[in-house]
Protein backbone atom coordinates (compact mmCIF):
# COMPACT_ATOMS: atom_id res chain seq x y z
CA UNK A 1 0.00 0.00 0.00
CA UNK A 2 1.32 3.40 -0.98
CA UNK A 3 0.88 6.02 1.71
CA UNK A 4 -0.39 9.32 0.43
CA UNK A 5 1.58 12.40 1.39
CA UNK A 6 0.02 14.51 4.15
CA UNK A 7 -2.21 17.39 3.06
CA UNK A 8 -1.32 21.01 3.55
CA UNK A 9 -1.55 21.54 7.32
CA UNK A 10 -4.15 23.82 8.85
CA UNK A 11 -3.18 27.28 9.93
CA UNK A 12 -1.18 27.09 13.10
CA UNK A 13 0.83 29.37 15.23
CA UNK A 14 3.98 29.26 17.26
CA UNK A 15 3.43 30.65 20.71
CA UNK A 16 5.57 31.65 23.65
CA UNK A 17 4.97 29.67 26.77
CA UNK A 18 4.60 31.55 30.03
CA UNK A 19 5.64 29.89 33.25
CA UNK A 20 2.90 27.48 34.37
CA UNK A 21 0.75 28.41 37.38
CA UNK A 22 2.28 27.27 40.61
CA UNK A 23 -0.69 25.95 42.56
CA UNK A 24 1.13 22.62 42.94
CA UNK A 25 4.78 21.70 43.15
CA UNK A 26 5.68 18.80 40.88
CA UNK A 27 8.13 16.36 42.42
CA UNK A 28 9.36 13.94 39.81
CA UNK A 29 10.41 10.52 41.11
CA UNK A 30 11.60 9.02 37.81
CA UNK A 31 13.99 10.45 35.21
CA UNK A 32 12.27 12.62 32.64
CA UNK A 33 12.97 11.16 29.19
CA UNK A 34 14.86 13.65 27.03
CA UNK A 35 15.04 12.61 23.36
CA UNK A 36 18.34 12.87 21.49
CA UNK A 37 18.64 16.02 19.42
CA UNK A 38 17.69 15.84 15.78
CA UNK A 39 19.69 17.81 13.24
CA UNK A 40 17.53 20.23 11.31
CA UNK A 41 18.91 22.88 8.99
CA UNK A 42 22.33 22.74 10.61
CA UNK A 43 20.94 23.21 14.11
CA UNK A 44 20.22 20.68 16.81
CA UNK A 45 16.47 20.78 17.38
CA UNK A 46 14.90 18.13 19.60
CA UNK A 47 11.81 16.43 18.21
CA UNK A 48 8.55 17.70 19.65
CA UNK A 49 5.69 16.00 21.44
CA UNK A 50 2.26 16.42 19.83
CA UNK A 51 -0.47 16.77 22.49
CA UNK A 52 -4.15 16.62 21.52
CA UNK A 53 -7.13 18.08 23.38
CA UNK A 54 -5.23 21.21 24.41
CA UNK A 55 -8.45 22.91 25.47
CA UNK A 56 -9.39 20.37 28.13
CA UNK A 57 -8.08 20.04 31.69
CA UNK A 58 -6.13 16.87 30.88
CA UNK A 59 -4.56 18.40 27.78
CA UNK A 60 -3.56 21.55 29.63
CA UNK A 61 -2.03 19.51 32.45
CA UNK A 62 -0.02 17.37 30.02
CA UNK A 63 1.22 20.40 28.08
CA UNK A 64 2.27 22.21 31.26
CA UNK A 65 4.11 19.21 32.65
CA UNK A 66 5.98 18.43 29.45
CA UNK A 67 6.99 22.07 28.99
CA UNK A 68 8.17 22.27 32.60
CA UNK A 69 10.18 19.07 32.05
CA UNK A 70 12.06 20.63 29.13
CA UNK A 71 10.29 19.07 26.17
CA UNK A 72 9.35 20.90 23.00
CA UNK A 73 5.55 20.70 22.79
CA UNK A 74 3.04 21.27 20.00
CA UNK A 75 -0.57 21.49 21.18
CA UNK A 76 -3.62 20.90 18.97
CA UNK A 77 -7.33 21.27 19.50
CA UNK A 78 -10.51 21.80 17.49
CA UNK A 79 -10.87 25.15 19.27
CA UNK A 80 -8.47 27.72 17.79
CA UNK A 81 -8.46 29.53 21.13
CA UNK A 82 -7.73 26.51 23.35
CA UNK A 83 -5.83 27.62 26.45
CA UNK A 84 -3.21 24.91 26.16
CA UNK A 85 -2.05 26.28 22.84
CA UNK A 86 -0.66 29.40 24.49
CA UNK A 87 1.30 27.26 26.97
CA UNK A 88 3.07 25.20 24.30
CA UNK A 89 5.92 26.03 21.92
CA UNK A 90 3.50 25.93 18.99
CA UNK A 91 -0.17 25.22 18.46
CA UNK A 92 -2.53 24.34 15.64
CA UNK A 93 -6.24 23.93 14.99
CA UNK A 94 -7.35 20.51 13.76
CA UNK A 95 -10.78 18.91 13.14
CA UNK A 96 -12.61 16.91 15.79
CA UNK A 97 -11.59 13.31 16.28
CA UNK A 98 -14.65 12.01 14.40
CA UNK A 99 -13.83 14.05 11.27
CA UNK A 100 -12.52 11.93 8.35
CA UNK A 101 -9.58 14.30 7.91
CA UNK A 102 -8.51 14.25 11.56
CA UNK A 103 -5.52 11.90 11.24
CA UNK A 104 -4.25 13.64 8.12
CA UNK A 105 -4.44 17.01 9.85
CA UNK A 106 -2.50 15.66 12.84
CA UNK A 107 0.22 14.26 10.62
CA UNK A 108 0.51 17.52 8.70
CA UNK A 109 1.08 19.40 11.96
CA UNK A 110 3.57 16.76 13.12
CA UNK A 111 5.59 17.00 9.90
CA UNK A 112 5.65 20.78 9.95
CA UNK A 113 6.86 21.01 13.55
CA UNK A 114 9.09 17.92 13.72
CA UNK A 115 6.96 15.89 16.16
CA UNK A 116 7.96 12.29 16.79
CA UNK A 117 5.57 11.31 19.62
CA UNK A 118 1.80 11.58 20.06
CA UNK A 119 0.11 12.04 23.45
CA UNK A 120 -3.71 11.96 23.08
CA UNK A 121 -5.90 13.26 25.91
CA UNK A 122 -9.39 12.80 24.43
CA UNK A 123 -11.05 9.37 24.68
CA UNK A 124 -13.38 9.93 21.74
CA UNK A 125 -10.47 10.32 19.31
CA UNK A 126 -8.78 7.03 20.27
CA UNK A 127 -10.63 4.77 17.74
CA UNK A 128 -9.62 7.01 14.83
CA UNK A 129 -6.05 7.22 16.09
CA UNK A 130 -5.86 3.45 16.58
CA UNK A 131 -6.90 2.93 12.95
CA UNK A 132 -4.39 5.49 11.71
CA UNK A 133 -1.52 4.44 14.00
CA UNK A 134 0.42 2.36 11.40
CA UNK A 135 0.15 5.18 8.88
CA UNK A 136 1.24 7.79 11.41
CA UNK A 137 4.14 5.59 12.53
CA UNK A 138 5.29 5.10 8.94
CA UNK A 139 5.60 8.87 8.68
CA UNK A 140 7.55 9.21 11.93
CA UNK A 141 4.86 9.88 14.54
CA UNK A 142 5.00 7.21 17.26
CA UNK A 143 2.04 6.41 19.50
CA UNK A 144 0.92 4.03 22.22
CA UNK A 145 -2.82 3.46 21.98
CA UNK A 146 -5.12 1.04 23.82
CA UNK A 147 -6.98 -1.73 22.03
CA UNK A 148 -10.22 -0.72 20.35
CA UNK A 149 -12.27 -3.15 22.44
CA UNK A 150 -10.85 -1.74 25.68
CA UNK A 151 -11.77 1.80 24.62
CA UNK A 152 -15.28 0.71 23.66
CA UNK A 153 -15.77 -0.99 27.02
CA UNK A 154 -14.63 2.12 28.88
CA UNK A 155 -16.74 4.54 26.85
CA UNK A 156 -20.00 2.56 26.94
CA UNK A 157 -21.42 2.38 30.47
CA UNK A 158 -23.73 -0.54 29.69
CA UNK A 159 -20.95 -2.65 28.16
CA UNK A 160 -18.64 -1.68 31.01
CA UNK A 161 -21.20 -2.78 33.62
CA UNK A 162 -21.64 -6.14 31.88
CA UNK A 163 -17.89 -6.71 31.80
CA UNK A 164 -17.56 -5.87 35.50
CA UNK A 165 -20.29 -8.37 36.37
CA UNK A 166 -18.60 -11.04 34.24
CA UNK A 167 -15.24 -10.36 35.90
CA UNK A 168 -16.65 -10.26 39.42
CA UNK A 169 -15.59 -6.66 40.01
CA UNK A 170 -17.72 -4.61 42.42
CA UNK A 171 -19.93 -2.27 40.37
CA UNK A 172 -23.40 -0.77 40.94
CA UNK A 173 -26.41 -2.55 39.47
CA UNK A 174 -27.02 -1.16 35.98
CA UNK A 175 -29.65 -1.42 33.26
CA UNK A 176 -30.08 0.19 29.85
CA UNK A 177 -33.77 -0.79 29.60
CA UNK A 178 -36.80 0.44 31.47
CA UNK A 179 -37.94 -3.17 31.95
CA UNK A 180 -34.77 -3.73 33.96
CA UNK A 181 -35.41 -0.97 36.51
CA UNK A 182 -36.92 -3.50 38.92
CA UNK A 183 -33.55 -5.23 39.11
CA UNK A 184 -31.71 -2.00 40.01
CA UNK A 185 -32.20 -0.99 43.66
CA UNK A 186 -32.81 2.69 44.34
CA UNK A 187 -32.09 5.48 44.79
CA UNK A 188 -31.00 5.89 41.18
CA UNK A 189 -28.73 7.87 38.95
CA UNK A 190 -29.63 8.13 35.27
CA UNK A 191 -26.87 9.11 32.87
CA UNK A 192 -25.95 8.95 29.19
CA UNK A 193 -24.66 5.57 28.06
CA UNK A 194 -21.73 7.39 26.51
CA UNK A 195 -20.39 10.73 27.67
CA UNK A 196 -18.12 12.26 30.26
CA UNK A 197 -18.17 14.71 33.12
CA UNK A 198 -21.58 15.26 34.66
CA UNK A 199 -23.40 16.03 31.41
CA UNK A 200 -26.97 14.75 31.36
CA UNK A 201 -26.83 13.14 34.82
CA UNK A 202 -30.13 12.90 36.74
CA UNK A 203 -30.49 11.92 40.40
CA UNK A 204 -33.92 10.30 40.82
CA UNK A 205 -35.82 8.75 43.71
CA UNK A 206 -39.04 7.69 41.93
CA UNK A 207 -38.98 4.48 39.83
CA UNK A 208 -41.71 5.90 37.62
CA UNK A 209 -39.51 8.88 36.78
CA UNK A 210 -36.64 6.50 36.03
CA UNK A 211 -38.75 4.48 33.59
CA UNK A 212 -40.01 7.65 31.95
CA UNK A 213 -36.46 8.93 31.48
CA UNK A 214 -35.31 5.66 29.89
CA UNK A 215 -38.37 5.58 27.65
CA UNK A 216 -37.75 9.14 26.48
CA UNK A 217 -34.09 8.54 25.61
CA UNK A 218 -32.83 5.09 24.58
CA UNK A 219 -29.22 6.20 25.08
CA UNK A 220 -29.53 6.42 28.88
CA UNK A 221 -28.62 3.90 31.56
CA UNK A 222 -29.80 3.67 35.16
CA UNK A 223 -27.59 2.68 38.08
CA UNK A 224 -27.95 2.35 41.81
CA UNK A 225 -26.72 5.58 43.35
CA UNK A 226 -23.68 4.84 45.48
CA UNK A 227 -22.95 6.45 48.82
CA UNK A 228 -19.70 7.01 50.65
CA UNK A 229 -16.59 8.96 49.64
CA UNK A 230 -15.96 9.47 45.96
CA UNK A 231 -12.47 8.79 44.65
CA UNK A 232 -10.53 9.00 41.43
CA UNK A 233 -7.40 6.97 40.78
CA UNK A 234 -4.84 7.76 38.10
CA UNK A 235 -3.14 4.63 36.80
CA UNK A 236 -0.57 3.61 34.22
CA UNK A 237 -0.40 0.10 32.72
CA UNK A 238 2.52 -0.96 30.54
CA UNK A 239 2.11 -2.55 27.13
CA UNK A 240 2.25 -6.05 28.65
CA UNK A 241 -0.54 -5.34 31.12
CA UNK A 242 1.62 -4.74 34.20
CA UNK A 243 0.25 -2.10 36.53
CA UNK A 244 2.98 0.50 37.12
CA UNK A 245 1.14 2.77 39.54
CA UNK A 246 -2.20 3.60 41.12
CA UNK A 247 -2.60 7.04 42.69
CA UNK A 248 -5.98 7.36 44.46
CA UNK A 249 -7.31 10.75 45.49
CA UNK A 250 -10.47 11.87 47.24
CA UNK A 251 -12.69 14.05 45.09
CA UNK A 252 -13.28 16.61 47.83
CA UNK A 253 -14.97 19.11 45.54
CA UNK A 254 -15.96 18.94 41.88
CA UNK A 255 -17.36 21.40 39.36
CA UNK A 256 -18.91 20.19 36.10
CA UNK A 257 -17.38 16.78 36.73
CA UNK A 258 -13.85 18.17 37.18
CA UNK A 259 -12.03 17.83 40.50
CA UNK A 260 -11.11 21.24 41.94
CA UNK A 261 -10.09 20.03 45.41
CA UNK A 262 -8.62 16.68 46.31
CA UNK A 263 -6.17 14.74 48.46
CA UNK A 264 -4.09 11.69 47.60
CA UNK A 265 -4.46 8.66 49.85
CA UNK A 266 -3.18 5.09 50.07
CA UNK A 267 -5.65 2.20 50.07
CA UNK A 268 -5.10 -1.49 49.41
CA UNK A 269 -8.81 -2.13 48.58
CA UNK A 270 -8.88 0.75 46.08
CA UNK A 271 -5.59 -0.32 44.49
CA UNK A 272 -6.80 -3.90 44.14
CA UNK A 273 -10.11 -2.70 42.70
CA UNK A 274 -8.33 -0.54 40.12
CA UNK A 275 -6.03 -3.40 39.16
CA UNK A 276 -8.95 -5.83 38.72
CA UNK A 277 -10.95 -3.28 36.74
CA UNK A 278 -8.18 -2.45 34.28
CA UNK A 279 -7.34 -6.13 33.82
CA UNK A 280 -10.99 -6.90 33.09
CA UNK A 281 -11.21 -4.35 30.27
CA UNK A 282 -7.68 -5.03 28.98
CA UNK A 283 -6.61 -1.40 29.05
CA UNK A 284 -2.98 -0.31 28.69
CA UNK A 285 -1.48 3.17 28.93
CA UNK A 286 -2.99 5.92 31.10
CA UNK A 287 -6.30 5.39 32.84
CA UNK A 288 -8.56 7.29 35.19
CA UNK A 289 -10.73 5.08 37.43
CA UNK A 290 -13.62 6.52 39.42
CA UNK A 291 -15.59 4.98 42.24
CA UNK A 292 -16.76 5.15 45.86
CA UNK A 293 -15.53 3.84 49.19
CA UNK A 294 -18.35 2.92 51.56
CA UNK A 295 -18.31 3.49 55.32
CA UNK A 296 -17.24 -0.13 55.86
CA UNK A 297 -14.24 0.38 53.55
CA UNK A 298 -15.71 -1.49 50.58
CA UNK A 299 -14.60 -0.01 47.25
CA UNK A 300 -16.84 -0.01 44.17
CA UNK A 301 -15.90 1.11 40.68
CA UNK A 302 -18.12 3.46 38.68
CA UNK A 303 -16.31 4.00 35.40
CA UNK A 304 -12.95 4.18 33.63
CA UNK A 305 -11.65 6.87 31.31
CA UNK A 306 -8.95 5.54 28.94
CA UNK A 307 -6.84 8.69 29.11
CA UNK A 308 -5.11 11.10 31.45
CA UNK A 309 -7.48 12.77 33.89
CA UNK A 310 -8.40 16.37 34.51
CA UNK A 311 -7.02 16.02 38.03
CA UNK A 312 -3.64 14.88 36.70
CA UNK A 313 -1.68 17.76 38.34
CA UNK A 314 -2.31 16.25 41.78
CA UNK A 315 -0.87 12.89 40.75
CA UNK A 316 2.20 14.63 39.33
CA UNK A 317 2.59 16.76 42.45
CA UNK A 318 2.41 13.63 44.59
CA UNK A 319 5.48 12.27 42.77
CA UNK A 320 4.17 9.83 40.13
CA UNK A 321 5.35 11.06 36.74
CA UNK A 322 2.84 9.13 34.66
CA UNK A 323 3.23 11.58 31.76
CA UNK A 324 7.00 11.30 31.43
CA UNK A 325 6.88 7.53 31.84
CA UNK A 326 4.15 7.22 29.22
CA UNK A 327 6.22 9.34 26.83
CA UNK A 328 9.16 6.99 27.33
CA UNK A 329 6.87 4.11 26.40
CA UNK A 330 5.74 5.94 23.27
CA UNK A 331 9.24 6.71 22.03
CA UNK A 332 10.94 3.46 23.08
CA UNK A 333 8.34 0.67 23.12
CA UNK A 334 10.81 -2.00 24.18
CA UNK A 335 12.00 -0.16 27.28
CA UNK A 336 11.06 -1.62 30.67
CA UNK A 337 9.12 1.13 32.39
CA UNK A 338 9.65 1.77 36.11
CA UNK A 339 7.10 1.40 38.85
CA UNK A 340 6.03 4.80 40.15
CA UNK A 341 5.46 5.84 43.75
CA UNK A 342 3.55 8.72 45.24
CA UNK A 343 3.09 10.55 48.53
CA UNK A 344 -0.28 10.16 50.29
CA UNK A 345 -1.79 13.27 51.87
CA UNK A 346 -0.85 15.73 49.11
CA UNK A 347 -3.68 18.25 48.70
CA UNK A 348 -4.75 20.20 45.63
CA UNK A 349 -6.86 23.35 45.46
CA UNK A 350 -7.48 24.55 41.93
CA UNK A 351 -7.87 28.12 40.74
CA UNK A 352 -8.52 29.84 37.44
CA UNK A 353 -5.56 30.91 35.32
CA UNK A 354 -5.66 32.86 32.07
CA UNK A 355 -3.80 32.85 28.77
CA UNK A 356 -3.77 35.79 26.38
CA UNK A 357 -3.24 36.18 22.64
CA UNK A 358 -2.92 39.31 20.55
CA UNK A 359 -4.89 40.17 17.40
CA UNK A 360 -2.34 38.20 15.36
CA UNK A 361 -2.88 35.06 17.45
CA UNK A 362 0.52 35.25 19.12
CA UNK A 363 0.49 34.51 22.85
CA UNK A 364 1.00 37.40 25.22
CA UNK A 365 2.62 37.21 28.67
CA UNK A 366 0.34 36.69 31.64
CA UNK A 367 -0.37 39.65 33.91
CA UNK A 368 1.41 40.69 35.94
CA UNK A 369 4.40 39.85 33.77
CA UNK A 370 6.94 37.93 35.82
CA UNK A 371 9.26 37.20 32.92
CA UNK A 372 9.65 38.42 29.36
CA UNK A 373 7.60 36.44 26.87
CA UNK A 374 9.23 34.55 24.05
CA UNK A 375 8.69 35.97 20.61
CA UNK A 376 6.08 33.92 18.80
CA UNK A 377 6.27 33.39 15.08
CA UNK A 378 3.23 32.38 13.07
CA UNK A 379 4.03 29.56 10.69
258 by DSSP, 3-state: which? strand
Shared domain check, 320 and 252: yes
Predicted local confidence at residue 258, as pLDDT: 73
Predicted local confidence at residue 365, as pLDDT: 77
**pLDDT for residue 7 is more than 60:** no
| Over residues 61-69, mean pLDDT | 97
Q: What is the pLDDT of residues 288-320, one digit of tens each?
A: 999 999 999 999 999 999 999 999 999 999 999
Predicted local confidence at residue 368, as pLDDT: 57
Residue 82's CATH number: 3.40.50.20
Shared domain check, 300 and 337: yes
| Domain, as residue range, for 65 | 12-143+355-364
Predicted local confidence at residue 37, as pLDDT: 40
**pLDDT for residue 361 is more than 90:** no
Q: What distance in Å separates the CA atoms of residue 59 and residue 65, rounded to the nearest whole number?
A: 10
Q: Would you say residue 82 lies in a domain?
A: yes
Predicted local confidence at residue 119, as pLDDT: 98
Predicted local confidence at residue 253, as pLDDT: 81
Shared domain check, 17 and 32: yes
Predicted local confidence at residue 359, as pLDDT: 86
% of the chain beyond a pLDDT of 90: 73
The DSSP-derived string for 51-82 is E--TTSHHHHHHHHHHHHTT--EEEEESSTT-
Shared domain check, 237 and 213: no
Mark 181-213 as b/e (b = at least 16 C-beta within 10 Å).
Answer: beebeeebbbbebebbeeeeeeebeebeebbeb
Phi, psi of 252 (to 5 degrees): -65, -40
Shared domain check, 182 and 127: no
Q: Would you say residue 372 lies in a domain?
A: no
Structural domains counted in the chain = 3
Range in 139-143, 231-235, 258-262 the model is least confident about: 258-262
Q: How confident is the model at residue 232 (pLDDT cuts 50, 70, 90)?
A: very high
Q: What is the pLDDT of residues 316-348, one digit of tens each?
A: 999 999 999 999 999 999 999 999 999 999 999
Shared domain check, 279 and 242: yes
Q: What distance in Å separates the CA atoms of residue 94 and residue 108, rounded to the nearest whole number?
A: 10
Shared domain check, 88 and 61: yes
| Over residues 19-41, mean pLDDT | 37
304 by DSSP, 3-state: which? strand
Q: Would you say residue 371 lies in a domain?
A: no
Shared domain check, 139 and 26: yes
Walk across the sheet containing 48-51 and list its strands. Answer: 12-14, 90-93, 73-77, 48-51, 115-119
* SS3 of the chain: helix, strand, coil, percent, to 5: 30, 25, 45
**pLDDT for residue 19 is more than 80:** no
Shared domain check, 272 and 196: no
Shared domain check, 329 and 247: yes
Q: What distance in Å separates the CA atoms of residue 234 and residue 329, rounded to the nearest whole number?
A: 17
Shared domain check, 316 and 201: no
Q: What is the pLDDT of residues 174-221, one digit of tens each?
A: 999 888 898 999 999 999 998 765 667 899 999 999 999 999 998 999
Shared domain check, 88 and 182: no
Amino acid sequence: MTLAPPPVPPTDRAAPRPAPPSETTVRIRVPVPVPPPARTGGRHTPPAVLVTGAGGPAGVAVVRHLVASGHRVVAVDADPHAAGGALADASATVPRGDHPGYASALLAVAVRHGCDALVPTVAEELPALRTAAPWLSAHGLASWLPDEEAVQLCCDKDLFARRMVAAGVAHPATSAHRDGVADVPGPWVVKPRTGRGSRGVQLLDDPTAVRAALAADPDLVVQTRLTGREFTADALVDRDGELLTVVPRWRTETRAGISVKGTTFASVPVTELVQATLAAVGLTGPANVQGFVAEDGTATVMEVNPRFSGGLPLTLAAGADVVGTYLTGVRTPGTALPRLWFTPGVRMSRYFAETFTGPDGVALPALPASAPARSGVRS
